[in-house]
Amino acid sequence: MEKWKTLGYYNGVFGPLEEMTVPMNDRACYFGDGVYEAAYVGNYRIFTLDDHVDRIYRSASMAEIEIPCTKDEMKAVLTEMAQKLESPEQVIYWQVTRGTAMRAHVYPDRSVKANLWITCTPKAIVNAYRKIRVITAEDTRFFHCNIKTLNLMVNCMLSEQAKKAGCEEAIQHRGDRVTEGTHSNVSILKDGVFQTAPTDNLILPGITRAHLIEICRRLSVPVREEPYTVQELMDADEIIISSSTGFARSVCEADGRPVGGKAPKLLKALQDALREEFIADTGIDPGLVPSGDS
């Protein structure tokens, strides 16, 4: 099989990602009118693929976008693309946009089909145990954060702000209430309880978050899906940042102040369980990479 360094796919046509072009009238270009997913690939296997495919169908349904293939067809094409990449360790990203039509805010005619985009890019696995630094920032996004849409302008602005502060993530809050990161969910451990924001319209229902909740239930760790404040975040025994590409790493510093580090055993038990799920699925160990990684 021919192997590629990077791969871009658009409605059945694929080639090196850097050389791919798309129609200007794709509604992604004007409105960011589409929904997406990103998953980690180890050994050419897409981790938690079923969960991601289920979620993009849910996002599309909330956005009234009709996905032009079945779930099984989507899984098949994603798996095929992942296998074409040279690197066995990748991020696979895909989006479905509301089709191609002259610019108009209203939806195009029903005869206009949605577009499927896929990218595969090599990405070394991160060390699931490495601690990270964060900033906190007001969440000024809209009220549809449960839909994984392409509209990520604020997420980008805050990611950049975090980077300028020498940090890896910005934890957002609406007033006092912690919502989520710019590309991750945020949970805390306090007095043996795993607490995480509820899955309302203010956060994305993260797949890693859902797996952590399942793990807690298995390990008899109490789970509280209730809002918590910035003060509670700062006072937490541990702060956990979770995402498909970053696992469930903990925070050692927020806004320049030391945080967490007070429940290392429980934290490690959760991280170990997630790591085991990943190894079982892919055969790759996210605990064995050198700690200077990203």
Closest distance to ligand PDD from the beta carbon of 277 (Å): 13
Pick 47 or 100: Cβ nearer ligand PDD: 47
Closest distance to ligand PDD from the beta carbon of 149 (Å): 10
Closest distance to ligand PDD from the beta carbon of 64 (Å): 21
Query: Which of 185, 187, 195, 271 is in the footprint of ligand PDD by CB under 6 A?
Result: 185
User: What does the alpha-carbon distance between residue 267 and residue 250 come to, in Å, rounded to a whole number?
Assistant: 8
Number of C-beta neighbours around residue 103 at 10 A: 10
Decide: 274 and 215 in contact? Cβ < 8 Å. Answer: yes
Closest distance to ligand PDD from the beta carbon of 213 (Å): 11
User: What does the alpha-carbon distance between residue 256 and residue 193 come to, in Å, rounded to a whole number?
Assistant: 25
Pick 55 or 98: Cβ nearer ligand PDD: 55
Query: Which of 130, 183, 249, 275 is in the footprint of ligand PDD by CB under 6 A?
Result: 183
* Residue sitting closest to ligand PDD (CB): 206
User: What does the alpha-carbon distance between residue 168 and residue 160 come to, in Å, rounded to a whole number?
Assistant: 9
Q: Say whether residue 244 binds ligand PDD (CB under 6 A).
A: yes
Phi, psi for residue 178 in degrees, rounded to 5: -70, 135
Closest distance to ligand PDD from the beta carbon of 182 (Å): 6
Q: Say whether residue 234 binds ligand PDD (CB under 6 A).
A: no
Closest distance to ligand PDD from the beta carbon of 63 (Å): 15
Of residues 37-66, which lie at the interface with ligand PDD (CB under 6 A)?
38
The token duo for 94 is 């895909």
Stretch that binds ligand PDD, among 95-103, 107-115, 240-248, 264-272 (CB under 6 A): 240-248
Pick 184 or 282: Cβ nearer ligand PDD: 184
User: What does the alpha-carbon distance between residue 238 and residue 212 come to, in Å, rounded to a whole number?
Assistant: 14
Please give the order of strands across the beta sheet that includes 34-42: 13-15, 7-10, 115-122, 90-97, 34-42, 45-46
User: What does the alpha-carbon distance between residue 68 and residue 279 come to, in Å, rounded to a whole number?
Assistant: 33
Decide: 294 and 132 in contact? Cβ < 8 Å. Answer: no
Host H or E run for residue 196: strand 193-196
User: What does the alpha-carbon distance between residue 48 and residue 32 come to, in Å, rounded to a whole number?
Assistant: 26
Stretch that binds ligand PDD, among 61-69, 97-105, 242-250, 258-266 (CB under 6 A): 242-250
| Residues identified as active-site | 148
Q: Which residues contact 63 (CB under 8 A, 6 or more apart)?
A: 33, 34, 35, 98, 147, 149
Query: Which of 83, 121, 146, 245 is in the footprint of ligand PDD by CB under 6 A?
Result: 245
Q: Say whether residue 95 binds ligand PDD (CB under 6 A).
A: no
Stretch that binds ligand PDD, among 19-27, 106-114, 204-212, 248-256 (CB under 6 A): 204-212
User: Which of 73, 81, 10, 71 shows the shortest CA–CA distance to 46?
Assistant: 81
Q: Say whether residue 286 binds ligand PDD (CB under 6 A).
A: no
Q: Which residues bind ligand PDD (CB under 6 A)?
A: 38, 180, 183-185, 204, 206-209, 242-245
